[in-house]
Amino acid sequence: MKHHGDVSRNHDTRNNAPKVIILGAGFAGIRAARSLAHTSAKVTLIDRNNYHLFQPLLYQIAMAGLSPAQIAIPIRSVLRGISNVEVLLGDVTGVDLSQRQW
């Protein structure tokens, strides 16, 4: 699934809330989204997968100590209850900084 977005207006015109786009729901993206939780920012988090992969435990999958589902957590469940963060599934192919589009 492909998405195209526009942050040309980086503030919500109704309440002047800043719009923040986070690319990737790895450790960094999840941390960023959580740090903006319950602020006035309107946050969109985009990942090509619908899950957050806990990479440090990948070896446990290789040795059959854990099942894949135990280290691949749905992003929406990680961020459940955070109403100002929207999660989108999409493969980002580029960011046009001059046009403020992704």
Ligand X SMILES: Cc1cc2nc3c(=O)[nH]c(=O)nc-3n(C[C@H](O)[C@H](O)[C@H](O)COP(=O)(O)OP(=O)(O)OC[C@H]3O[C@@H](n4cnc5c(N)ncnc54)[C@H](O)[C@@H]3O)c2cc1C
Note the residues at the interface with ligand X (CB under 6 A): 24-29, 46-49, 55-56, 58-59, 91-92
Instruction: For the CB of residue 57, give the shortest distance to ligand X in the complex, in Å.
Output: 8
Which residue, 29 or 74, is less far from ligand X as judged by CB? 29
| Owner of token pair 């957050």 | 52
Cα separation, 91 vs 95, whole angstroms: 12
Pick 46 or 87: Cβ nearer ligand X: 46
Min separation Cβ 52 and ligand X, Å: 6
